[in-house]
Amino acid sequence: MHKLFKYEKAINALLYSLEKLGGVSDMHKLCKILYFADQQHLSQYGRSITGDRYIAMQFGPVPSNVDDILKALRGDSFFSGASAIDSLKESMKFENRYILRGIKAPDMDELSGTDIKCLDKAIDLCKNMTFQQLTQFSHGLAWTNTQRDRAISVKDILREAGDDEAYVEYIADNLKLQSAFL
């Protein structure tokens, strides 16, 4: 799915989540919100919100592109000085190594009604969980079936959501087809 990554949607999904969480959150919680929102949207509507690829890291699934963007924003990347990161600094900033603060409101034109519905559900699911609770909760079938530091398959993400095998195959094939034309 990494060819299907939607930068503007991902940034605005982060800003929306930050706004709903009172303007501030840690990276871990934001990553889990994106994971569960993308999982639900993929399961219900056949596409993820961000189009990001999730990596099975020690503390659960991590959106690869979003993680890279946030590390660059934090100054921990070769790309930290890129012009795209400079413009992102007008939208959000790190208060410390792990805590992110939203500076401006999300552009709601970038998020569909179904995007918002799934983000709201994921925010409600994750907002009151501790780091440890979120880690344990995100260690589901998709994470368990994936070697650490490797990409989680879309099929396992859908299986974890409870989708039947025919639908899992259909969505996976559809995403491959979309990716081939990019």
Residue-wise pLDDT for 19-50, tens only, equals 999 999 999 999 999 999 999 999 999 999 99
Torsion, Cα of 15, 78, 76, 150 (10° steps) = 80
Q: In which residue ranges of the chain is pLDDT below 70?
A: 1-2, 182
Tell me which residue of 2, 1, 12 sits closest to 112, measured CA to CA: 12
Q: How is residue 22 annotated by DSSP?
A: T
For residue 92, what are the contacts with CB-CB under 8 A and spacing of at least 6?
14, 15, 18, 73, 100, 101, 102, 103, 104
What three-state secondary structure class fits 58? coil
Tell me which residue of 123, 145, 161, 165 sits closest to 43, measured CA to CA: 161
Tell me which residue of 156, 145, 124, 155 sits closest to 32, measured CA to CA: 124
Q: How is residue 89 annotated by DSSP?
A: T
pLDDT at position 2 is 54
pTM across the whole model: 0.95
> What φ, ψ does residue 120 adopt, rounded to 5°?
-60, -45
pLDDT at position 168 is 97
Q: Any idea which residue has 């795209």 for tokens?
A: 84
Encoding tokens for residue 138?
A: 């995100």
